[in-house]
Amino acid sequence: MTTNKATKYWISVASKDHVKTGIKAGIAQACHGKAAPLKRMKKGDFIIYYSGKQSFGKPEKCQEFTAIGKVIDNEVYSFQTTTDFCPSRRNIAFLESKDISILPLIDELNFIQNKKSWGYPFRFGFFEINQHDFDLISSQML
């Protein structure tokens, strides 16, 4: 017996420069190339990228949602990017969207329980959100 599973919604954290590179390639990477987070996603799920920083390893803040897309298959695969880095990836159909600040949304987002320490959930790098939060963010981005 097969069951239809409900669509899930995910947040992944990456610097804005890395997100924009991923959009061009049509791929998602998470948590410095780890496969485990990507394996939690299924075809038809949605992913939103949050970028705390403009560029990887640099201090300039971004604090924006910078991409939104749909998982298009169930394959997690490795891709050799350099001689010493072979991250896991997922194929994503990114939607045309605009980058939006998180700041005006903090009070309305359920996944941010402590509004004073709103950045805390992003420390996990990858996590599921509910449909309310997805709808709120995507309504501003699309």
- Binned at pLDDT 50, 70 and 90, residue 61 comes out as very high
Q: Give the pLDDT confidence score for residue 2 in this predicted structure.
A: 45
* Residues facing 67 on adjacent strands: 49
**Going by DSSP bridges, is the β-strand pair 46-53/61-78 parallel, antiparallel, or unpaired?**
antiparallel
- Both tokens assigned to 50: 């949050």
Task: Decide: helix, strand or coil at residue 81.
Answer: coil
Is the model's pTM score more than 0.85? yes
Tens digits of residue pLDDT in 129-138: 999 999 999 9
Say which amino acid occupies 2: T
Q: Confirm or reject CATH 3.10.590.10 for domain 9-141, answering yes or no.
A: yes
Q: Give the pLDDT confidence score for residue 4 in this predicted structure.
A: 52
